[in-house]
Amino acid sequence: MITNEQIETFVAQAHRYGNAGLMMCSSGNLSWRIGEEVLLSGTGSWVPNLTKEKVAVCNIATGALVSGVRASMESTFHLGIMRIREDVNVVLHFQSEYATAVACMTKKPESFNVSAEIPIHVG
């Protein structure tokens, strides 16, 4: 059973990542495995400003919402990692401020001359 103290710790860590400048606005999501459940940033939430009311609790095996708001649309990504990698307890994913700015552009450049995005696992 997820405790209020664990949710408060999750929210505090979300603010820590935001204060470190890792993400801005809604350009990322955070999850934390606790037993058979996971805390996830909720849909429409901004990790740097996350509140307890915007935290979802889901079952890792089924993805079913246990309590809280609906999980972020990227929750399947987080849950998939946790199902496959039992040694992973936290997933933080985000896009750089530049990638976020480009994604928000209405008229995108035709050539970026950049490398393809690849998944990286640390640890």
Domains located in the chain, CATH noted? 4-104 (3.40.225.10)
- State pLDDT tens for residues 53-97: 999 999 999 999 999 899 988 899 999 999 999 999 999 887 666
Residue 2 burial (CB count, 10 A)? 18
- With the C-alpha atoms ordered 76, 81, 82, 88, is the resulting torsion angle positive or negative? negative
d(Cα 17, Cα 49) in Å, to the nearest integer?
Answer: 10
Place of tokens 């399947």: 76
Instruction: Identify which of 59, 55, 58 has the alpha carbon closest to the alpha carbon of residue 43.
Output: 55
Residue 56 burial (CB count, 10 A)? 21
d(Cα 28, Cα 46) in Å, to the nearest integer?
Answer: 8
pLDDT of residue 104: 74
Cα-based torsion angle of the residue sequence 37, 41, 44, 46 in order, rounded to the nearest 10 degrees: 180
Work out the percent of the chain whose per-residue pLDDT is above 70. 77
**Residue 36 pLDDT exceeds 70:** yes
pTM: 0.76
